[in-house]
Structure 1
Amino acid sequence: MLVRYKAWANGLTFESVMNLPEGAALRPRQTRFGNMVHTLNHVYVVDDIFRHHLQGTKHCYTARNTEHPPSLGDLWEAVQSMDRWYIDLVDSWSAEDLARVVHFEFVGGGEGAMTQEEIVLHLVNHATYHRGFVGDMLYQAAVTPPSNDLPVFLRDHCRKAR
């Protein structure tokens, strides 16, 4: 449910950002990553880093973001692919898989260890946190961000099936 929520909320956020006037998504703003696209790219990079950890492969990142973000359209395509990858992966897991510990090295140095379940929870929380930054930047652009909270997702997408 959580990875599906993340994909849904990403879709709402990207739709809002893509509907902005030309250049608004890249306009410099007072925020950690400088603009909306670079903030969304940071989320993608962290998702990709943990995808490599889950696969037991090395990634090529030396930071938790790239120096320059891709185009918004290219980033949205990559995020959709990443979200599908996580949904398919988590759908294949058993209870034992959720508890499996993954050992990795943090990008900034130091060793880490998390269960696969903890990794998924981290990625969902991390994306929510940074979508909040994008929501603030949307307000700065005179656009009301979409309601992409978990209770809205549960109401509109999960509770109907019950």
Structure 2
Amino acid sequence: MNNQAVQLYDYHTWANKRILEHVKNLQQEIYNKEAQGVFPSVSEALTHIYLMDALWLSVMSGDSFSTSIELLQQLSETTRGKSVHEMETAFLTLSERYKAFFEHKQNLDEAFSIEHPHFGRLETRLSELIQHVVNHGTYHRGQVTDMLRQLGHSGVSTDYVFYLYEKGRS
């Protein structure tokens, strides 16, 4: 198993948890309040991170493109209008599914291919897809921080180095 990929995912889980905890401590209306950005609200951005994390776990598990898209559509319906507390539970459950996937896989650096109807075939490794999931989340957590600042609130630091410091103290 690629310990670096698993550690990166652990960081991703830590960073998502920090953002969710921070947002829970703000006024409830901030979660759904409209802001300027790629997403119309903090809730939409966090839901997008969750949905894409679920999609990529489906892909890495070997599901077909159509099965993964069906899952995405189903989860889009079930997450619509969820509170920050409900999304926190959804993120936690999904991270447990990722951990079970990691435990099941002997080698996250093994060759892996994805077939996409528009982009074609991609030869990669599971560890690279995990890095993509983490990078994607980092990008959107930055957007959440920007939206919070627009709404008059501070963000919370989710830099990787702070994860390392916290992990080192544990």
Alignment TM-score, normalising by the size of structure 2: 0.81
CA RMSD of aligned residues (A): 2.2
Change (3 A) 1:9 1:147: same
Match of 1:8 in 2: 14
Percent pairwise identity: 24
Q: 1:41 aligns with which of 43, 47, 56?
A: 47
1:56 and 2:66 equivalent? Answer: no
Whole-angstrom CA distance in 2 between matches of 1:147 and 1:62: 29
Q: 1:145 aligns with which of 133, 139, 155?
A: 155
The structure whose residues are more often helix, as a share, is: 2
Alignment TM-score, normalising by the size of structure 1: 0.84
1:101 and 2:112 equivalent? Answer: yes
Whole-angstrom CA distance in 1 between matches of 2:14 and 2:27: 23
Match of 1:116 in 2: 126
Q: Secondary structure at the match of 2:28?
A: coil
Q: Secondary structure at the match of 1:128?
A: helix
Q: How many residues get paired?
A: 156
Aligned letter for 2:110? Answer: A
Q: Is the 8 A contact 1:26 1:36 kept in 2?
A: yes
Structure 1: tracts of 5 or more residues without a match: none
User: Following TM superposition, where does structure 1 have runs of at least 4 consecutive aligned residues deviating by more than 4 angstroms?
Assistant: none
